């Protein structure tokens, strides 16, 4: 007896029509598998694409202040703010808490941590002018109205833009 007896199989005579039927069944099963894969993965890919589009549109509408680069961003547009200026400190404080009014004293305190009342009275107008310059720069960014509003020596983000502010 041959040692490969178990693997020695006789040749099978297959009808050519049977081969064609097998090929058609194989093609149908392959198409069904491809269709099921598309059925399963298409919603996943669509959701990712939809989320990417939503994130990009949110980014286009958002307003933020970059502390490291000292730039004010509105969507794709940006304007450089001079570091360690009153404009920088107004942006830094108001963008940290956009829902609150920020006193002028808090801006001076952030600038040099020790401001006398006499110095506060002398330079209160400096914060007003810084806010006015920031509003002008905001218009250059494409904003239609003022970014900041003033009320009795206090500064806040305008209600129109408050919801669009994002933090880094």
Average pLDDT, the chain: 80
Give the CA distances from residue 22 to residues 13, 30, 84, 111, in Å, rounded to whole numbers and listed in that order: 15, 12, 78, 82
| Contact call for residues 156 and 94 (beta carbons, < 8 A) | yes
Average pLDDT over residues 1-30: 72
Predicted confidence band of residue 114 (pLDDT cuts 50, 70, 90): very low
Predicted confidence (pLDDT) at residue 94 exceeds the cutoff of 70: yes
Average pLDDT over residues 80-92: 87
Bigger pLDDT: 122 vs 44:
44
Average pLDDT over residues 77-105: 86
The confidence score (pLDDT) of residue 165 equals 81
* Contacts of residue 110, Cβ cutoff 8 Å, sequence gap at least 6: 89, 92, 93
Q: 3-class SS at 49?
A: helix
Q: Which fold has domain 64-162?
A: Arc Repressor Mutant, subunit A (1.10.10)
| Contact call for residues 166 and 63 (beta carbons, < 8 A) | yes
| Contact call for residues 86 and 111 (beta carbons, < 8 A) | yes
Predicted confidence band of residue 2 (pLDDT cuts 50, 70, 90): low
* Contacts of residue 145, Cβ cutoff 8 Å, sequence gap at least 6: 158, 160
Average pLDDT over residues 116-125: 55
Determine which of 15-29, 33-47, 104-118 has the lowest per-residue pLDDT on average: 104-118
Provide φ and ψ at 5, rounded to 5°.
Answer: -60, -40
Q: Tell me which residue of 91, 102, 43, 93 sits closest to 69, measured CA to CA.
A: 91
The confidence score (pLDDT) of residue 18 equals 66
The confidence score (pLDDT) of residue 119 equals 53
Q: Residue ranges of the domains in the chain?
A: 15-61, 64-162
Bigger pLDDT: 61 vs 129:
129
């Amino acid at each position: 007896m041959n040692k490969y007896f178990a693997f020695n199989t006789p040749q099978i005579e297959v009808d050519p029509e049977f081969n064609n039927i097998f090929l058609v069944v194989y093609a149908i099963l392959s198409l069904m598998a491809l269709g099921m894969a598309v059925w399963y993965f298409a919603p996943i890919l669509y959701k990712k694409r939809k989320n990417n589009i939503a994130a990009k549109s949110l980014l286009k509408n958002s307003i933020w202040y970059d502390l490291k680069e000292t730039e004010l961003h509105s969507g794709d547009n940006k304007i450089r703010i001079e570091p360690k200026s009153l404009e920088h400190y107004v942006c830094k404080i108001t963008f940290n808490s956009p829902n609150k009014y920020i006193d002028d004293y808090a801006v001076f305190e952030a600038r040099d941590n020790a401001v006398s009342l006499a110095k506060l009275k002398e330079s209160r107008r400096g914060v007003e002018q810084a806010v006015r310059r920031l509003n002008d720069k905001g218009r250059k960014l494409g904003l239609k109205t003022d970014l900041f509003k003033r009320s009795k020596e206090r500064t806040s983000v305008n209600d129109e833009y408050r919801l669009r502010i994002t933090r880094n």
